[in-house]
Amino acid sequence: MAISAKKADSGLTPRKEQAPVLWFEEVGIADVPIVGGKNASLGEMIRHLVSKGVRIPNGFATTARAYRCFLEFNGLDVKLRKLFTGLSVEDLKQLQNIGSQARALILEASFPEDLDHALRDAYARLCEQYGPNTDVAVRSSATAEDLPDASFAGQHETYLNVHGVKGLLEACKKCFASIFTDRAFYYRQSHGFDHLSIALSIGVQKMVRSDLACSGVMFSVDTETGFTNAVLINGSYGLGENIVQGAVNPDEFMVFKPTLKQGFRPILSKITGTKESKLIYDMGGSKSTKNVPVPPSERTKLVLSDLEILELSRWACVIEDHYSQVNGAYTPMDMEWAKDGITGQLFIVQARPETVQSRKKKLVLRTYRLEAAGKRLVSGHSVGEAIGTGKAHLILDAHSMGEFQSGEILVTDKTDPDWEPIMKKAAAIVTNQGGRTCHAAIIARELGIPAIVGTENATGVLATGQEITVSCSEGEIGYVYQGILPFKASELPLDQLPKTRTQILMNIGNPEDAFSLSAIPNDGVGLARLEFIIANHIQAHPMALVHFEELTDPQVKAQLAGLTVSYKDKPQYFVDKLAQGAGLIAAAFYPKPVIVRLSDFKTNEYAHLLGGQQFEPVEDNPMIGWRGASRYYHDRYREGFALECRAMKMVREEMGLTNVILMIPFCRTTEEGRAVLAEMAKHGLERGKNGLEVYVMCEVPSNVVLADDFFQIFDGFSIGSNDLTQLTLGLDRDSQLLASLFDERNEAVRRMIRWAIEAAKRNSKKIGICGQAPSDYPEFARYLVELGIDSISLNPDSVLKTLVDVAATEQKLKIPVKVAS
């Protein structure tokens, strides 16, 4: 694992060094030189974490000495050294030829007698524990594996569903031979390892019957952003090789670690993958495993229950905490899990340090931005945040890899470790299949190049020689654009930014951006908009879900049925999706305050949601019509607002994200404010209970005129300068004819804002601003600082420049800065 060779040597004992086979319980973290990273990790967990509830299948490992004795016994060390003389891994034909000869030498050799006996005896003991002729996984584990500067994971072979002594011995020999695969040659040489200095250990582990259930991978860090407080789980039906190889688009789950450890159930997201196929045992067939289609009815179901998601996530925390303690530094982990279809139990079958995000420089913010629009050709899961351009090159078969040229964009169905020599030459990677933890995604992150996986149709849309742009800079979804588009990459050192008294918050709409945006220096979120979540992630009108059986449009009803196919309780779909979206934002900035504004669609916008037309009136001027607070207690929307309340209650009480502050938009009168607070209390959101604060938007002139009264029932104001400007100046902000008159810097607006801030100070209440003006006009931000506003919430791209400007203003005014947290 992530330890130095010197530290590893400290655990060696003469018996361990000489033994051909060791049981997992006999080895630990210090034994990487003896049994490799995989096996040392399994032993470490069995010795220390089984007692903490982590389930791990038992097994044993051959030692490095066994491998070297095997070479010496057959005279292979001299033959191989001679064979490798003059090897150039850049010459693919020579590489393939020498690799084939090396593997043949291994496969034709014989086991020394002591190793043969040791393997037979150990397998017999395993059969005593699990039953006659027990099925095992036979995995390769290099003795330099999972070191901090190199990960040999995936370079060597694994054999599943191996039965009997004969099958075991054959699989072990194949594992020894796999140290000389083409990809392993390439990897060792590119990382400066001598081909004969690395020894191979073999791990023999009882199979978990996940072919009858499901399996997957798990990270104790978000693999895209490096956000350290999340557990990311991918899962699909059958054995786990399909996920690792990117052969399926898996389910994806995200869990928040800090409140999970406090006993809450913070599942931040559940995304259903297509899961078209699964790898199972080939009972009575010619192979040990085979891929079969997953029935369509099963593909729409999640492979894990909430309880199973939480159990795996707790294990991820236990494993990460243990290795962080052993290493003396934070150590995010990459784990493989499996569910046994016979017993229903979950198991961890592998664990290693995560090797990409843990090595990134944390004090530099690197951003990419497209500087021109283009035609979108395909889309899929975004890997990384970079942008790559070049000519597409479709490679559909590994035998065609020699045609690939440096700087091209690899377009293929999926990749596996054999593809790594050409992946290192690619400017970007695009695949039809795979999720965020598939092979193509992992290697792209290691290489620091953009990749879009799981597009489903890239090889059918893109053509070799076509100029394209691969953009992963726009959030969770990555896009391939036609042509070479200009883009800008920039870096900002984050350790040189000034501190301010005025809180610098962010406006966030898309939950999928929250983890990456939280890396920008900030004091929290001043405006989290639920409208984006409802429009893009939920898509359905809440009243259409509440009254699903009463829908009159059969086409709309069919669309909603498809959207909510996994939900018998249709309203719960709205609650879950809204809670997960808001929860992602709250978790990203936890424990900093996150102000969540309850929905503020206008009637025409609500009508565009699925099923909305049946429930929305037609208004001549929706901008000042039935919106915001006036909807929440009205009979025509009260049931829909109840779903919002249930979702926010879930975020605060089930997920434990009590940093969420709720905010009421467009509240015209104090009577209306009281009515909304009463409606919220009916659904368990009582102001002051469990620390709940409720703010109100200051965007209607009555909010300013009656500010002292509003402060009697709310905890704070957030100035919405867009609407306040519109209603103060009496103009439609969407009217092109009046665009020249719309200016937040108008003296009437400035006075409104000054009066609101003075009222807040008078009542000892908090006040901030979340409108557009401070993002657009530096002088407006300076004006707010001079008035003593508590916080300024900005668009993410304006945060840093405004932070610097605010700091300069405070210095000029001699305002003392806050103490850094």
Q: Is 69 a catalytic residue?
A: no
CB of 40 closer than 8 Å to CB of 64: no
Residue with the two structure tokens 């490095």: 64
Q: Map residue 203 onto helix, strand or coil.
A: strand
CA distance 203 to 505: 51
For 321-396, strand residue ranges (E) read 333-339, 346-353, 364-370, 376-383, 387-394
What is the secondary structure of 13-54 as a DSSP string?
-HHHHH-SEEEGGG--GGGHHHHHHHHHHHHHHHHHTGGGT-
CA angle in degrees (0–180, nearest 5) for 748-752-754? 115
H-state helical runs in 267-333: 296-299, 306-327
Element (H or E) spanning 71, and its range? helix 64-73
CA distance 756 to 767: 8
What b/e sequence results for 573-584 when a residue is b if at least 16 CB atoms lie within 10 Å of its CB, and e otherwise? bbbbbbbbbbbb
CA distance 677 to 692: 12
Strand partners, 335: 218, 351
Identify the burial level of 152 via C-beta atoms within 10 angstroms of its C-beta, where 0-12 means exposed, 13-18 middle and 19 or more buried.
buried
Q: Is 439 a catalytic residue?
A: yes
Active-site residue, selected from the candidate residues 172, 214, 645, 770 = 770
What's the token pair of residue 525? 């979120």
CB of 470 closer than 8 Å to CB of 388: yes
CA angle in degrees (0–180, nearest 5) for 761-529-305? 125
Strand partners, 412: 431
CB of 627 closer than 8 Å to CB of 636: no
Element (H or E) spanning 664, and its range? strand 660-664
Strand partners, 517: none
CA-based nearest residue to 3, from 39, 31, 38: 31
CA distance 234 to 433: 14
Which DSSP letter does residue 369 get? E
Amino acid at 98: I
Strand partners, 695: 663, 716
Strand order in the sheet with 214-219: 267-271, 251-256, 230-237, 214-219, 333-339, 346-353
* 164-177 vs 92-107: helix crossing angle, rounded to 10: 150
Cis bond upstream, residue 591 (ω within 30): yes
CA dihedral 476, 480, 481, 485 (to 10 degrees): 80
CB of 216 closer than 8 Å to CB of 250: yes
CA distance 339 to 210: 5
- Cα distances from 459 to residues 380, 420, 470, 805, in angstroms, run 13, 19, 14, 48
Strand partners, 594: 525, 660
Active-site residue, selected from the candidate residues 322, 393, 439, 541 = 439
CA angle in degrees (0–180, nearest 5) for 224-148-26? 115
Neighbours of 452 (CB within 10 A): 31
Radius of gyration of the chain (CA): 30
Catalytic residues: 439, 770
